[in-house]
Structure 1
Amino acid sequence: MSTIVNTPTSNQRVSLTTGSVISADGTTIGYHQLGHGPALIMLHGANTSGLDFTQLAEPLADLFTVYLPDRRGRGLSGLFSKNYSIQEEVADLTALVNKTGARLLYGVSAGGMICLLASLSLPGIQKLALYEPALLMDGTAHTSWLPRFDQEMAEGKVAAALVTSMKGLELGGPVMNAMPNWLLEALTNATMKGEDKKAGPDAITMRKLAPTLHYDGLLLAEMSGQLDRFRAMNAEVLLLGGSKGLPFLKPSLAALEQILPHVAGRIEFPGLEHGGSNNPSQTNRGSKPELVAQELRQFFTRA
């Protein structure tokens, strides 16, 4: 099946095909793909979907067949299980690697964490690029928002829950922390309503993605303090981040640079935030996926 996607900041229309793979527990994992050449899988982070990488994938599509999977609970993919853990995500990625023969991975935030762990048991992975993988030295301070988030979601207070997660993860920095919750909730509600009005029936909106933040919070907690296990990594790894990225992930990047046996380099993009490689959008205006794509192109083609 083929689909046409409009890129958010231009009139360019990207032709994508869709496919799916069945994970170990029988769950369907859907993906979009574009391009020709060796397989490259890009795994998104929290509150996004595979389609958020279209502008990152386009400059690479002349050299690679780029796969943009939707992680569980999102878009083309099936639901989370009752016994959800990171091993479920690893199994999903493993199924896609086995189908495509991919030897190249790119992951952002939670997607980067999943790529790292999956690569330990996938000897065929040769190169791995990570943009601010969501690994915590100590997860207590950045997972304590989960109970309040869950309660607000249970009460149908989606905007309040999103504000709770954003503050808990320091996504807005000091400015957001200084703003009263009622104002942030009003702004978030307005953004969601505006998005809902423009969205088609299959669009993956903020409102649809909100419940998935619970599961990304669980991953943060589960993998906190687990960096030492990556000393056994065989793949060559490129570490990426933005100068305005999440401060609490920078210590983990520095630790990975020391722990990983085969580090190809560490690059910090001036002015980019945590979502710097995602498509620009109303809530991610400062991203520059074309800059990240240049580095990925060099890394993945270098012998």
Structure 2
Amino acid sequence: MVQIHSTGNGPGIVVVHGGGVTAGIYRRLAGKLADRFTVHLYDRRGRGDAPARSLPYDVQEDVDDLLTVLRQTGSHNVLGHSGGGIVALLAARQGAVERLALYDGVVPVDDLFPTAWVDPARAAARAGDIPRALALTSAGINTHTAASRLPLAVQTAICRLFLRTPIGREMGELLPMTLDEVDGIRAFTGPAEQWAGIGCEVLLACGADGPSYYPRLNEALAAVLPHARTLLVPRAAHDAVNRAPARVVEPLAEFFAAPARVS
């Protein structure tokens, strides 16, 4: 049974965390929203206090868990971050969501989200070389950074040091699981039109200081989703949603507080 950690008062928002982390990093976000909403955090399978996940990985198991959390909390609002974005989007396609916000949602529309790094990173992880696997993952995802253009040996040395930090250790331990999830996400690669049946209100947000592919992904999705809009948050990177500055929190609060659309 998935454990739900709730805080605040008001309409419920369920947060679906990304890969490589646990729900705990969103406590700051939950605290910033708690005066207006009840924020529900939970760990996806294989992390924190969540049950073990089934093998091989199937994203539908994550979707089913989210649907269970929505039923148990009576919530209809979902915020998906990074790899949690496609879990939230799939739940919305099954009609369980009224308002969906994605921040840097990993959705493989055509070839917009880079995936060439996945197989080399999985090979390194299987060989037990987690620093190299993490370096390949970081460079493959963070294409906008100067570090991603350093020689791989230098990036690997940096990651070896990063793995000595508390967040680095957690990301390293979860990396094989994260790579499995990205592999599962790749199965949905295709045109944006496959998501056109989602009729709920959708906010597609990303940070102006993050990778350049997220704005393109969001625009492609917004073009086919009937009730979607995009938001480019200034001075915000991929981790801005868990850091929770006002420039991220307030647009999310406004979106979730907006009155229901009249059909």
Q: Percent identity?
A: 28
1:117 aligned residue:
90
2:213 aligned residue:
248
1:294 aligned residue:
250
Q: After superposing the two structures, state which structure 1 stretch, 93-102 or 136-145, moved more.
A: 136-145
Q: Is this contact kept in 2: 1:235–1:262, CA < 8 A?
A: yes
Q: After superposing the two structures, state which structure 1 stretch, 208-217 or 40-49, moved more.
A: 208-217
Q: Which consecutive segments of 4 or more residues in structure 1 shift more than 3 A?
A: none
Q: After superposing the two structures, state which structure 1 stretch, 139-148 or 35-44, moved more.
A: 139-148
The one-letter amino acid paired with 1:120 is R
Pick the aligned partner of 2:156 from 171, 176, 185: 185
Q: Is this contact kept in 1: 2:113–2:213, CA < 8 A?
A: no
Task: After superposition, give the CA deviation of every residue in 1:77-127 in whole Å (9 maximum; x if it has no partner).
Answer: 12232232221211111111111111111111221211111112134x211
1:138-177, aligned counterparts within 5 Å?
138-139=110-111, 142-169=114-141, 171-177=142-148
The one-letter amino acid paired with 1:103 is H
2:47 corresponds to 1:74: yes
Q: After superposing the two structures, state which structure 1 stretch, 77-86 or 114-123, moved more.
A: 77-86
For residues 162 and 132 of structure 1, the distance between their equivalents in structure 2, rounded to whole angstroms, comes to 19
Pick the aligned partner of 1:97 from 70, 84, 87: 70
Task: After superposition, give the CA deviation of every residue in 1:261-302 in whole Å (9 maximum; x if it has no partner).
Answer: 112x321111211222123xxxxxxxx543211111111112
Pick the aligned partner of 2:240 from 269, 276, 283: 276
From the superposition, tell whether residues 140 and 232 of structure 1 become closer, same or farther in structure 2 (CA, over 3 Å): closer
2:32 corresponds to 1:55: no
Q: Is this contact kept in 2: 1:135–1:227, CA < 8 A?
A: no
Superposed displacement of residue 68, structure 1? 1.1
Which structure 1 segments of 5+ residues have no match?
Answer: 1-21, 23-28, 280-287
2:200 corresponds to 1:235: yes
The one-letter amino acid paired with 1:99 is Q
For residues 180 and 34 of structure 1, the distance between their equivalents in structure 2, rounded to whole angstroms, comes to 44
Q: Is this contact kept in 2: 1:136–1:248, CA < 8 A?
A: no
For residues 234 and 260 of structure 1, the distance between their equivalents in structure 2, rounded to whole angstroms, comes to 7
**Higher share of residues assigned strand:** 1
The one-letter amino acid paired with 1:129 is A
For residues 213 and 174 of structure 1, the distance between their equivalents in structure 2, rounded to whole angstroms, comes to 21
Superposed displacement of residue 215, structure 1? 2.1
For residues 208 and 73 of structure 1, the distance between their equivalents in structure 2, rounded to whole angstroms, comes to 11
Task: After superposition, give the CA deviation of every residue in 1:131-186 in whole Å (9 maximum; x if it has no partner).
Answer: 121112334972232222222112221111101111222x1525123212222222
For residues 145 and 253 of structure 2, the distance between their equivalents in structure 1, rounded to whole angstroms, comes to 35
Q: Is this contact kept in 2: 1:47–1:213, CA < 8 A?
A: yes
For residues 148 and 206 of structure 2, the distance between their equivalents in structure 1, rounded to whole angstroms, comes to 23
TM-score, L = length of structure 2:
0.90
For residues 195 and 292 of structure 1, the distance between their equivalents in structure 2, rounded to whole angstroms, comes to 25
Q: After superposing the two structures, state which structure 1 stretch, 180-189 or 252-261, moved more.
A: 180-189
For residues 177 and 63 of structure 1, the distance between their equivalents in structure 2, rounded to whole angstroms, comes to 39
2:101 aligned residue:
129
- Secondary structure of the 1:84 match is coil
For residues 194 and 70 of structure 1, the distance between their equivalents in structure 2, rounded to whole angstroms, comes to 21
For residues 248 and 134 of structure 1, the distance between their equivalents in structure 2, rounded to whole angstroms, comes to 10
Q: After superposing the two structures, state which structure 1 stretch, 139-148 or 174-183, moved more.
A: 139-148
Superposed displacement of residue 38, structure 1? 2.2
- Secondary structure of the 1:129 match is strand
For residues 141 and 231 of structure 1, the distance between their equivalents in structure 2, rounded to whole angstroms, comes to 19
For residues 141 and 243 of structure 1, the distance between their equivalents in structure 2, rounded to whole angstroms, comes to 16
The one-letter amino acid paired with 1:276 is A
From the superposition, tell whether residues 194 and 114 of structure 1 become closer, same or farther in structure 2 (CA, over 3 Å): closer
